[in-house]
Amino acid sequence: MAFRYDLEIDWHLLDTCNFRCGYCFFPPERLAAKLATFASVDEWRDAFDALGRTCLLHLTGGEPSIYPDFVALCAALTKNHYLSINTNLTHPSLIEFTQAIDPSRIAFINAGFHLEERERRPGHTTFLRHADLLHAKGFPIIISLVATPSVLARYEEVAEILRPTGLVVVPKLFRGWFAGKRYPESYTTVELDRFTQFCVAARSAYAPLFARNGEWPSIDMLHDDERNGSVPNFTGVSCEAGRRFVALDPRGNVFRCGKDRLGNILDRTFAPRLRPASCDTSYCYYFCTKYTLPNRTRAARTVDALIGTPHRVATIMQRVLLSDRLPLRNARRRLTLGSWRMSSISSSPTPPTRG
């Protein structure tokens, strides 16, 4: 069954997480933030429904499964929309999730294994139990492993731990600093060869699952081997972000991806862009890869720049209306002037002086 959706939303649901992975984008104090909600389940559902579009909502954080009312939220949203979820697969809410949620409404669950952080905790049992349960109930689960050099060296060990689940682990390109070197640029040839070997095997193992979806997962680690150990740059390339893809923060603020705020979904001030626009920032290269239009023609890009946002369209419409009204206004003025002249001539003994 292929997923059909009009708008994909990368929803940063919360900052809080029960893990403290060394490579996390967020600092520990942000991960330790007190749990906060900015709208009720019904308010979120109504806000998404009010868009009048079918959405694919990518829930990420922080750890989405610790969000208060996580299962109720997923149940409400999956009535009219689809979900995909990033999770460390540890919270007990996932058990109720498997009972209450229809797997056909879930595009994918990216279960991060986080080996070194997990070893600081009581083992892998919870992860394995939740992975088993989700897999058995037909949820599209994919297990990923952030491939820092030290973790990549232990890939076979992780594969062995996960063997009982029957699931293959996908190496995910590591972005960040490790032992004083910047990654992914600093992977050695041997590391890149290992990475490619594991990635290709994982791609083949997960291909049937994503054939069901009709597309690869938006967070497409399964093609990270093709990035040759580097992060692509999309500056200046035409992109559908803002029109077919947006980012959403915990308070309901909507962004094109990085910086352009497009309104707030909760107060109904969000309107998607009408046309693609060129990229002037950097976001998450998975979404960038999915939504850029590298072959867009120059003519189309010119039109995009002219009428990209509803605001700009409103301005253009206003100008058109004003310019349409000008001849009318002039005609009316001429008529008024004419009648004044006629009445003046008829009532005044002295005709008005010309010029």
Q: How far from 323 is each of 264, 318, 342, CA to CA, in Å? A: 33, 8, 29
- Cβ at position 148, least distance to ligand SF4 in Å: 12
Cβ distance 229 to 216 under 8 Å?
A: no
Question: Considering only 4-12, 14-22, 165-173, 344-352, which stretch makes contact with ligand SF4 by CB under 6 A?
Answer: 14-22
Nearest to 17 by CA among 109, 88, 70, 74: 88
Binding-site member from 85, 91, 288, 308 for ligand SF4 (CB under 6 A): 288
Binding-site member from 82, 174, 283, 286 for ligand SF4 (CB under 6 A): 283
Q: Are strands 7-12 and 55-60 parallel, antiparallel or unpaired?
A: parallel
Distance CA 348, CA 196 (A): 97
- The answer for 35, left when phi > 0, alpha when psi is -120 to 50, beta otherwise, is beta
Binding-site member from 14, 75, 169, 239 for ligand SF4 (CB under 6 A): 239
- Contact flag: residue 21 with ligand SF4 (CB under 6 A): yes
- Contact flag: residue 24 with ligand SF4 (CB under 6 A): yes
28: helix, coil or strand? helix
- Cβ at position 283, least distance to ligand SF4 in Å: 4
Binding-site member from 3, 11, 155, 234 for ligand SF4 (CB under 6 A): 234
- Contact flag: residue 202 with ligand SF4 (CB under 6 A): no
- Contact flag: residue 17 with ligand SF4 (CB under 6 A): yes
Q: Write out the two tokens for 189.
A: 């040839």
Instruction: For ligand SF4, give the closer residue by CB, 259 or 354.
Output: 259
Cβ distance 281 to 247 under 8 Å?
A: no
* Phi–psi pair at 25, nearest 5 degrees: -65, -30
- Contact flag: residue 128 with ligand SF4 (CB under 6 A): no
- Contact flag: residue 276 with ligand SF4 (CB under 6 A): no
Place of tokens 């232990």: 154
- Cβ at position 319, least distance to ligand SF4 in Å: 28
Question: Considering only 32-40, 75-83, 284-292, 307-315, which stretch makes contact with ligand SF4 by CB under 6 A?
Answer: 284-292
- Contact flag: residue 63 with ligand SF4 (CB under 6 A): yes
Compute CA 82 distance to the chain's CA centroid, rounded to the nearest angstrom.
Answer: 13
Cβ distance 244 to 177 under 8 Å?
A: no
- Contact flag: residue 53 with ligand SF4 (CB under 6 A): no
Distance CA 59, CA 5 (A): 16
- Contact flag: residue 126 with ligand SF4 (CB under 6 A): no
Residues in the chain: 355
Place of tokens 């699952």: 209
- Contact flag: residue 75 with ligand SF4 (CB under 6 A): no
Number of helices and strands in the chain (H, E): 12, 13
Residues 6+ apart with CB under 8 A from 229: 173, 184, 185, 187, 192, 195
Instruction: For ligand SF4, give the closer residue by CB, 138 or 258.
Output: 258
- Contact flag: residue 241 with ligand SF4 (CB under 6 A): yes
- Contact flag: residue 115 with ligand SF4 (CB under 6 A): no
Instruction: For ligand SF4, give the closer residue by CB, 59 or 75.
Output: 59
Instruction: For ligand SF4, give the closer residue by CB, 67 or 283.
Output: 283
Instruction: For ligand SF4, give the closer residue by CB, 12 or 194.
Output: 12
* Interface residues toward ligand SF4, by CB under 6 A: 17, 19-21, 24, 26, 31, 61-63, 88, 112, 114, 234, 239, 241, 257-258, 279, 281-283, 287-288, 291-292
